[in-house]
């Protein structure tokens, strides 16, 4: 590909990139709530009508402040606080459940975000160490996913990522309308991720008993709850999915934000999206392809090493009617031809160019090394690129890669390390791919990125910021970051 075109083609996007990165930094918010092993003095019960209640346990900070993070749909008047033991308020013994209305004489002035104090000893609050501050914060304009495990705890899931916990669940839209609820057995929750699994705020895979289109998304049986633990903005994956979707890259997952509660504990803001499976990339006849993932972190029975050293994981190998050796041979034929600059007949140029442009425009640090999906149909040797996935390390997250429009991230011609594949670089040496790239960039991606930067990202950032509109937000972030890792990773069982 012509060097002059490379530099000029993306140069005018430098302003847009800087705008996106600055916006991402600006919308950093509280996104995870793991609690130290402190026994809270209260828990909350929320009346949602029709004799139904949702129980919420508080997140207790290191200095003993109890934070109740409430869903967006109930009124604070519908919240009842239930003491776990006897507490005292203004010197009065309290054993029975109480509402906020007893604390605020003027209930009309009762706001969604408020605080009160209780004491565990009858000292009238004279001894400051006896006083516990309780802060109530209510979400805005975000759906809520309430999950109840069969065991009452995530202990087994956190001990073994592959363990499948039976669960019941209910998904509320932002206004409290029930979008979905499990009415029969069969739904499960398990862990997911590699590096993210070692973090306090973990990602999960949710499997429903039957296919359903959660929050208006396309029907699926398997869903992913992305913690976005490496992305304080929670926006990077959403932006990449949105860009790929606007460009009509086949199989792009849809995504919606949800507040996640498991066993009454608030786990944080999550990205609910369809799990990447072969069903996402069916052809127009409904045929499912052989789906693979290039990822140098993977290992196991469904992983093979290509002749050129590429680590490839076959997705749902047990459901594929081809043997792994046959799939490896097909991949080797494709990769050998591509690396010999003779692979144009083996690739679907449109999907490869679109996937490359998403990776390049977002400065995806994992491009060519991790979570790179591709697929083929067994009646042809043509390989398609996609779906897009895993953009935690994009849009300025890796400071070494951002800020210079004359360097490239996805091509990686200037970087080499074990596990990186030069597929994009070799694909773009072909004149057909170059022409497709120029056309796709100018006619599809330029207007898509402009719409994203000028409208979509700003709108979504504003929605996220409204999840918790509180003056204490920054304080909560500092509390989270100051906690030791071992206390963050402990499992609550209140």
Q: What is the pLDDT of residues 179-220, one digit of tens each?
A: 999 876 789 999 998 888 989 999 999 999 999 999 999 999
CA distance 322 to 15: 47
CA distance 8 to 417: 27
Nearest alpha-carbon partner for 343 in 428, 417, 413, 286 = 428
89-95, Cβ contacts within 8 angstroms, sequence gap of 24 or more: 89/116, 89/117, 89/118, 89/119, 90/124, 90/125, 91/122, 91/124, 91/125, 93/122, 94/118
Q: For residue 162, give every residue at least 6 positions away whose Cβ sits within 8 Å of its Cβ, in sequence order, or none.
A: 190, 191
**Tens digit of each residue's pLDDT (9 = 90 or more) over 8-49:** 344 344 334 434 443 443 344 444 444 444 567 888 988 766
Q: What is the 3-state secondary structure (H, E, C) of 58-110?
A: CEECCCCCEEEEECCCCCHHHEEEEECCCEEECCEEECCCEEHHHCCCCHHHC
Tokens of 375: 């697929």
More confident residue, 361 or 464: 361
Which whole-number Å values give the CA distances from 343 to 310, 416, 467, in the listed order? 16, 22, 48
CB distance 384 to 375 below 8 Å? yes
**Tens digit of each residue's pLDDT (9 = 90 or more) over 91-124:** 788 888 988 776 665 555 566 778 888 887 755 4
Burial of residue 407 (number of CB atoms within 10 Å: 0-12, 13-18, 19+): middle
pTM metric for this prediction? 0.82
Residue with tokens 């929750």: 189
- Of the pLDDT bands very low, low, confident and very high (cuts 50, 70, 90), residue 85 is confident
């Amino acid at each position: 590909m012509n060097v002059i075109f490379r530099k000029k083609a993306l140069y005018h996007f430098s302003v847009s990139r800087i705008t996106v990165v600055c916006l991402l930094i600006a919308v950093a918010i509280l996104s995870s709530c793991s609690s130290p092993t402190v026994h809270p003095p209260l828990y909350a019960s929320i009346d949602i009508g029709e004799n139904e209640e949702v129980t919420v346990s508080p997140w207790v900070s290191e200095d003993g402040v109890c934070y109740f993070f409430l869903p967006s749909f109930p009124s604070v008047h519908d919240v009842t606080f239930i003491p776990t033991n006897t507490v005292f308020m203004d010197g009065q013994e309290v054993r029975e459940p109480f509402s906020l209305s007893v604390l605020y004489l003027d209930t009309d002035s009762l706001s969604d975000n408020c605080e009160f104090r209780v004491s565990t000893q009858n000292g009238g609050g004279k001894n400051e160490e006896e006083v516990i501050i309780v802060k109530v914060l209510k979400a805005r304009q975000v759906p809520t996913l309430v999950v109840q495990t069969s065991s009452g705890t995530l202990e087994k899931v956190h001990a073994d990522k592959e363990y499948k916990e039976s669960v019941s669940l209910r998904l509320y839209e932002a206004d409290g309308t029930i979008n979905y609820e499990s009415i029969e057995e069969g739904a499960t929750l398990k862990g997911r991720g590699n590096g993210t699994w070692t973090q306090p705020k973990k990602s999960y895979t949710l499997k429903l008993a039957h296919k359903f289109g959660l929050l208006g998304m396309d029907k699926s049986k398997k869903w992913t709850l992305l913690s976005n633990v490496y992305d304080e903005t929670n926006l990077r994956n959403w932006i990449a999915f949105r860009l790929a979707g606007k460009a009509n890259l086949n199989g792009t997952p849809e995504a919606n934000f949800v507040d996640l509660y498991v066993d009454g504990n608030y786990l944080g803001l999550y990205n609910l999206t369809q799990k990447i499976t072969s069903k996402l990339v069916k052809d127009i006849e409904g045929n499912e392809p052989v789906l693979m993932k290039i990822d140098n972190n993977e290992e196991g029975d469904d992983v093979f090493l290509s002749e050129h050293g590429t680590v490839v994981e076959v997705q749902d190998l047990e459901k594929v009617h081809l043997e792994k050796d046959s799939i490896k041979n097909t991949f080797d034929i494709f990769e050998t031809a591509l690396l010999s600059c003779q692979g144009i007949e083996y690739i679907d140029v449109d999907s490869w160019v679109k996937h490359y442009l998403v990776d390049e425009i977002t400065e995806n640090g994992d491009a060519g090394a991790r979570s790179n999906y591709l697929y083929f149909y067994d009646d042809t040797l043509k390989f398609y690129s996609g779906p897009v996935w895993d953009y935690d390390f994009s849009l300025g997250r890796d400071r070494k890669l951002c800020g210079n429009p004359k360097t490239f991230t996805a091509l990686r011609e200037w970087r080499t390390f074990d596990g990186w594949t030069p597929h994009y670089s070799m694909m773009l040496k072909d004149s057909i791919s170059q022409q497709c790239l120029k056309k796709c960039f100018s006619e599809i991606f330029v207007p898509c990125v402009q719409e994203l930067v000028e409208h979509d990202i700003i709108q979504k950032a504003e929605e996220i910021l409204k999840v918790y509109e509180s003056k204490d937000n920054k304080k909560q972030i500092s509390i989270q970051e100051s906690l030791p890792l071992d206390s963050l990773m402990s499992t609550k069982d209140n």
